[in-house]
Chains A and B, each alone.
Chain A
């Protein structure tokens, strides 16, 4: 509590201004993670969200933009406009931010592998609009560590990726002082199964490794390093165990304060403050009884808002139907209203921290701090987060945690209402509308995005484009900053695919550890034993152990589901071929053919399951391997299940199929039934 003013006139449960006036806190920045189909369609959505009382923008880009491909690249085509907006050039940015005042907007961009490019586009847009670049505020997510571990939209190897992040910090420090060049994400680690301790440790170790690198590069003075520490922000998850989550964000604050003071000598407490934004947990949202998710989202929101000392700075919430499809505008509005009610209707923002002095909370926080510190020191002892990625240490730890979680739900030890308890429910009227409660894409808008790309290529000055790309490559090679050359590329109308392509030539593309080697599953019991015997019997009948190819086609990098299936299949006795993410349907067909597998299992979470499954089935038939079973897992709406069946997909697994043993029994039924007829229409 503040020293000035007679303490006797102040109540411990009230907030006061320094002049003694009673006050309440300003709400966090209220956002909705949004973007789809085309820049024009997304612009209309942003403007209507802002009109509905949203106070910042959170941009979702489509996977080609995130992975550095133009919309007309063959690997990109099935994914254009699916999970976000496609951005091919500066002209698309002009449309995307049309009539939105950049200088007043706090813009968060969920962008990683191509973060430098999207920041360059934003700066170039401000320059062309005549806005002072120094006024821009916002965040580029730009945390490649969690991309390698969980999300999958990395492009370059770790060294090159961290260099790009460091260069963005060095550039923003004076050019755009209120920009967060990166957002260290523990969010995706929890989605990948991380425990609270792992979330704390892996995210903080990532931040420390980044700061170590910036310090070691020697481009910043001590005073600048202190400001750089002050620019590091975090993106945190909040799960259903909301008391522990509240303690976790308090532990984050304590650990960050300690490490930045002791390791970098940051004396200004403002620069040591743990600043974070939140999206609450999606992993625990269920497909069955989806209306229950509304309550889960509310409870998870409490975990990151109740404690004033550890309250989120910005928040975006998932929608109740996230396990069914991408959210519709109405679904997003429903989640937005939750934030508004909590911030403006309730008395939450009137009080100081509610948990100060709580023995229970202090003890829990101390435990988390102790365990996380031990893990952070282990990672730093390996030489930091890059060696811990390259050796597969972090990935293996996550795959293990995820397998434990899935096993606990399977055994009923972890209760999920509507999934493993109280599963009988009345039909939900929420999914009874004309659209079945699902989002549908605007196919015409996607065509428009591709047409714009042709127009840009036709109208630009090719010599300027070539020169801009040449200086980008030169900077990448000689170690100088790539930021200004990237801005010139943006102004010259270089495309997203060209920018990433130039750097791919210099840095190469990274293939990380899959994390599945040596993993086991805590799944046992009569059904596992019986299944192993069936698989053994199959091996005798077939003359070989049944072989399963687990495939992640397309650009979607959410590989946790695929990895758990790979581990589970081996657990019951399959020989499993798994080669990691981002494979073209062609590469998957090659693997299936060369490896002579009995079943190809494709996991798709981007909404492109129909196109990708079609390409795999067609490819196998063209190669004379149409007698291979194809199964699909992912977020597949019921209407698409029939489409997939018609294509020739033998089984479709959705989030409702959470029991691994059920899935493996079903796959084994399929193999026992013999190969499919090779020439089904």
Chain B
């Protein structure tokens, strides 16, 4: 089944891409071997002059206008470059009580069925705070091999900020005008991570003073920056600044330094171990298996590293494998 899907997904047929995403989101142990095979096939089919993929993280608090902004930006980018293809992964928080989630980010998005160059997928974070879903990294392993650009939209708080940092080649933080002063930006601790800022909703009255406070906070929080990070001013409402920001993103896609697939793997292997086995797992990885990079090299890639780790820790703890076909 995977072989047929790969062929169709390479031409960005929506149903095939979605079904493959299903394989990469699949939490059942048996799915790991399907993933490994899919990636082998994709890498084998890639041409020598494959242009690769740029991953852009778009973070920001709920209500900052990320979704509206993305709806405008993706269309502007696709208009500018007929060879460009974009996949958007948008993540919403899950309920801690029921586990369910409301995924509403595509409300602002309009992608016609016959437009294969744009693909939109929602994910549930599986935590109440938001941030990346456990399978965001997995899905990005697939999408970076199919699209020229992957945009990950998420609420940037706490642990998830570090996750986005490790996943994306460039991180944009979307802010909305605040009534307050630079202390708010500093307290929030949000100015330290991103590569660039987007001050959205600049049609609002508080925008001018907010920009001033943001610049002041940057001077305090990031004194060692050689170049002050860019602050883009936009309004999804009246279209102001959208073209300029799209041009900046276009530059990123063409020329920003990119991570290789294997660059991303150690962090997300560690996160997986954390999620599945907690502190005990982490210790086993660091002490008994020599750390994530070493294990990845020894096992030969992410999927196999998971299998090796799983077997190793189960042997150590004398726990049987879960039911179902061996991974």
Question: Which A-B residue pairs are the 5 nearest by beta carbons?
Answer: A543-B26, A570-B100, A543-B28, A596-B18, A573-B100
Task: Name the B residues within 8 Å of A571 (CB-CB).
Answer: 95, 98, 100
Task: Name the A residues within 8 Å of B121 (CB-CB).
Answer: 594-596
The answer to whether B26 and A577 have CB atoms under 8 Å apart is no
Selected A-B contacts with CB under 8 Å, 15 pairs: A511-B107, A511-B108, A517-B102, A535-B98, A535-B100, A543-B22, A544-B22, A545-B101, A570-B100, A570-B102, A575-B94, A576-B103, A590-B113, A595-B122, A596-B22
A519 to B22, CA, bound (A): 28
A566 to B110, CA, bound (A): 21
A214 at the B interface (CB under 8 A): no
The answer to whether A594 and B100 have CB atoms under 8 Å apart is no
Task: Name the A residues within 8 Å of B104 (CB-CB).
Answer: 514, 516-517, 577-579
Known: A586-B113, A596-B19. A575 touches B124 (CB 8 A): yes
A591 at the B interface (CB under 8 A): yes
| Complex: chain B residue closest to A390, CB-CB | B237
A544 to B18, CA, bound (A): 13
B25 at the A interface (CB under 8 A): yes
A624 at the B interface (CB under 8 A): yes
The answer to whether B99 and A594 have CB atoms under 8 Å apart is no
The answer to whether B102 and A566 have CB atoms under 8 Å apart is yes
A572 at the B interface (CB under 8 A): yes
Identify which of residues 95-132 in chain B touch chain A, using a CB-to-CB cut-off of 8 Å: 95, 98-104, 106-113, 119-122, 124
Chain A interface SS verdict (over half): mixed
The answer to whether B100 and A575 have CB atoms under 8 Å apart is yes
Tell me, rounded to whole Å, the shortest Cβ–Cβ distance linking B17 to chain A.
8
Task: Digitize A535-573: 1 where CB-to-B-CB distance is under 8 Å, 0 elsewhere.
Answer: 110011001110000000000000000000011011111
The answer to whether A573 and B107 have CB atoms under 8 Å apart is no
A511 to B67, CA, bound (A): 12
Selected contact of A576 from candidates B63, B102, B112, CB within 8 Å: B102
A625 at the B interface (CB under 8 A): yes
Chain B interface SS verdict (over half): mixed
The answer to whether A593 and B18 have CB atoms under 8 Å apart is yes
Identify which of residues 47-72 in chain B touch chain A, using a CB-to-CB cut-off of 8 Å: 62-63
B27 at the A interface (CB under 8 A): yes
Selected contact of B27 from candidates A511, A543, A595, CB within 8 Å: A543
A587 at the B interface (CB under 8 A): yes
A343 to B139, CA, bound (A): 68
Query: Which residues does A use to contact B, with CB under 8 Å?
Result: 157, 391, 511, 514, 516-517, 519, 532, 535-536, 539-540, 543-545, 566-567, 569-580, 586-587, 589-591, 593-596, 619, 623-625
A580 to B42, CA, bound (A): 36
Tell me, rounded to whole Å, the shortest Cβ–Cβ distance linking B130 to chain A.
12
| Complex: chain A residue closest to B87, CB-CB | A594
Query: Which residues does B use to contact A, with CB under 8 Å?
Result: 14-15, 17-19, 21-22, 25-28, 31, 62-63, 94-95, 98-104, 106-113, 119-122, 124, 237
- List 17 other contacts, CB 8 Å, given A517-B102, A625-B15: A517-B104, A540-B27, A543-B25, A544-B25, A545-B100, A570-B100, A571-B95, A572-B98, A573-B98, A573-B100, A575-B101, A578-B107, A586-B112, A594-B119, A595-B18, A624-B15, A625-B18
Selected contact of A590 from candidates B14, B17, B21, B98, CB within 8 Å: B14
Tell me, rounded to whole Å, the shortest Cβ–Cβ distance linking A510 to chain B.
10
A543 to B23, CA, bound (A): 9
Task: Name the A residues within 8 Å of B31 (CB-CB).
Answer: 543
Selected contact of B100 from candidates A544, A576, A591, CB within 8 Å: A576
Known: A586-B112, A589-B113, A593-B15. A514 touches B107 (CB 8 A): yes
Selected contact of B99 from candidates A511, A516, A536, CB within 8 Å: A536
A545 to B122, CA, bound (A): 13
Tell me, rounded to whole Å, the shortest Cβ–Cβ distance linking A120 to chain B.
27
Tell me, rounded to whole Å, the shortest Cβ–Cβ distance linking B296 to chain A.
24
Tell me, rounded to whole Å, the shortest Cβ–Cβ distance linking A574 to chain B.
5
The answer to whether B102 and A578 have CB atoms under 8 Å apart is yes
Selected contact of B106 from candidates A570, A586, A589, A591, CB within 8 Å: A591
A579 to B103, CA, bound (A): 8
Tell me, rounded to whole Å, the shortest Cβ–Cβ distance linking A336 to chain B.
41
Selected contact of A572 from candidates B22, B100, B119, CB within 8 Å: B100
| Complex: chain A residue closest to B205, CB-CB | A383
Task: Name the B residues within 8 Å of A586 (CB-CB).
Answer: 112-113
Tell me, rounded to whole Å, the shortest Cβ–Cβ distance linking B156 to chain A.
18
A596 to B237, CA, bound (A): 31
Task: Name the B residues within 8 Å of A532 (CB-CB).
Answer: 98-99
A516 to B105, CA, bound (A): 12
Selected contact of B14 from candidates A511, A567, A572, A623, CB within 8 Å: A623
Selected contact of A587 from candidates B14, B18, B110, CB within 8 Å: B110
Question: Most chain-B CB neighbours within 10 Å: which of A516, A572, A590?
Answer: A590
The answer to whether A593 and B14 have CB atoms under 8 Å apart is yes
A580 to B71, CA, bound (A): 15
A607 to B109, CA, bound (A): 27
Task: Name the B residues within 8 Å of A540 (CB-CB).
Answer: 27-28
Known: A572-B98, A575-B124, A625-B15. A595 touches B103 (CB 8 A): yes
Task: Name the B residues within 8 Å of A391 (CB-CB).
Answer: 63
Task: Name the B residues within 8 Å of A623 (CB-CB).
Answer: 14-15, 113
Selected contact of A577 from candidates B14, B103, B110, CB within 8 Å: B103
